[in-house]
Amino acid sequence: MTHHDCARVSFARQVAYGPGFVERCRSALEEALASAPAYRPWRALDPGPVREPFERLAALPALTKADLRAVGPAGFVPAGRDLAAALRSGEVSLVATSGTTGDQVTNVWYQPWWDASEAASWQLNAHARAAAGNGHREAILTSPWCAGFPCEDGYLTMEQRTLGRFLYLSERSDPSVWSDALMDRMVEELNLFRPAVLEANPSFLARLSRHIAAKGLRVHSPALIVLTYENPSRLHYRQVEQVFDAPIASSYGSTEAGYVFMECEAGRLHQVTASCHVDFLPFKPEHGGPQVGRILVTTFDNPWRALVRFDTGDVVRLAGEDRCPCGRDEGLTLAAVEGRTANLTLTPEGRVVTQGEVDRALAEVPGLAEYQLVQTGPSAYCLRCVAEGADPAATARAAREALRAVYGSRALLTAELARAIAPAPPGKYRLARALRPVDADALLDRRYAPVGS
């Protein structure tokens, strides 16, 4: 059999798409292969135009962040475009993603494309459509190193943290050390600014919400809360809903790929088919497949950056065959983003456990405010708990037993109480991880896995 006879299966053939979508996939693929220098080695792997675009994409490898760093931002600029001139004129800029040194990527940033991707995502949520437009005000509560004005020594005025219609609520990146005075200031500014939309790291907004609830403060509720930058926990949702009377939508994407999924008013996440194609790579059945797997994103219509099968590093869970109550049925529909591959852990028997599975197990533990689980050995796990209630020790015991139902009787589980849990740089919480990272490639169903993985 030839290499092309052995081409991987495309999961996309099982998904419904609107008119013109397949042609947009073909156009994005052919432009990248023909004109972006980074894809020259891929051309020999392409089965060619006699095959449908989904099968051609399935024959190609995954594009990783390591590839982006190795080739550099210019390698993904289509031919005929002068990057140096565009940088001088200000049409584009170079933006480095936040994170650890090994995870950072420098991207060519084209603001009109990003804005169009965001606008397309908001069409997938009825509350977002109603809240957006007419220069609506937005308050943003994220790590200032991701978006905003960082200042870890001293404080900035409200004017210094306002940019047009955006108010950045915090200049400090670690909610575990936020003072009561700082959080009181955030509440006062929300009441004064009265944003239509509040965009937030879920962990940051949950921390502020617990403060509001504890002090019995009154706070302005926007027309919509958008959770972004990190994967929300069920604890986050519950804590935010306790004090804000507003619909909540989780927005999923990345600096590299733009907006990829948006949570609808019925609670499912829909693919932003206007701006990207998503390849789904199911895990093996013993690890949750075919409902659980990884995703690769191919972007559309960015004149300054051609991304094909970009591995976002995330694990998702499909919603199943029932049509979403919101009525949308184009593209992939997710029940949840289960976390990143860096958040995967293993049972003592070797079954993979996603961060989402850990979170669902801990969601109903009485008094649990925050947690972080670390797998320290093949069968050893340490859970750090922040408990708010009359009996913190009982909360820790209940959390440990909830995890035993996930990891089994052979698991050696310890739970320790903490006063607070700090995020990882630059302000994102990792709710679960293993000291020895799980080999995510080994989890894939080989019928769908990218060539070379």
At 326, list the tokens.
Answer: 């919101």
Q: Average pLDDT, stretch 139-154?
A: 92
What would the pLDDT profile of 239-290 be if each residue is shown by its tens digit?
A: 999 999 999 999 999 999 999 999 999 999 999 999 999 999 999 999 999 9
**CA Rg, the chain, in Å?**
22
- With a cut of 80, say whether residue 99 has pLDDT above it: no
Indicate the residue type of 72. Answer: G
**Residue 68, pLDDT score:** 95
Residue-averaged pLDDT of the chain: 93
Q: Would you tell me the crossing angle of helices 180-193 and 202-215 to the nearest 10 degrees?
A: 100
- The pLDDT confidence band at residue 6, using thresholds 50, 70 and 90, is very low
pLDDT band, residue 92 (cuts 50/70/90):
very high
Q: How confident is residue 14, by pLDDT bands cut at 50, 70 and 90?
A: confident
SS (H, E, C) 289-310: CCCEEEEEEEECCCCCCCCCCE
Burial class of residue 75 in the structure, from the number of CB atoms within 10 Å of its CB (0-12 exposed, 13-18 middle, 19+ buried): middle
Q: What is the pTM of this model?
A: 0.93
Neighbours of 276 (CB within 10 A): 27
> Does residue 177 have a pLDDT over 90?
yes
Assess whether pLDDT exceeds 50 at residue 2: no
pLDDT tens per residue, range 412-441: 999 999 999 999 877 788 999 999 999 999
Residue where the block lists tokens 């669902």: 360
Q: How confident is the model at residue 307 (pLDDT cuts 50, 70, 90)?
A: very high
Let me know: does 161 contact 154? Beta carbons within 8 Å.
no
CATH of domain 345-436: 3.30.300.30
**What DSSP state is assigned to residue 317?**
E
Whether 386 and 370 have beta carbons less than 8 Å apart is answered as: yes
Residue 134 reports pLDDT greater than 50: yes
257-270: pLDDT as tens digits: 999 999 999 999 99
Distant-in-sequence, close-in-space partners of 401: CB < 8 Å, separation ≥ 6: none
Pairing between β-strand 352-353 and β-strand 368-377 as defined by DSSP bridges: unpaired
Could you tell me the pLDDT band of residue 151, with boundaries at 50, 70 and 90?
very high
Percent of the chain past pLDDT 70, that is, above it, reads 96
pLDDT at 5: 38
Whether the bond into 290 is cis, omega within 30 of 0: yes
* Residue 76 near residue 60 (C-beta atoms within 8 A): no
Per-residue confidence at 139, pLDDT binned at 50, 70, 90? very high
Residue 232 has pLDDT above 80, yes or no: yes
Taking the C-alpha atoms of residue 310 and residue 256, their distance in angstroms, rounded to an integer, is: 9
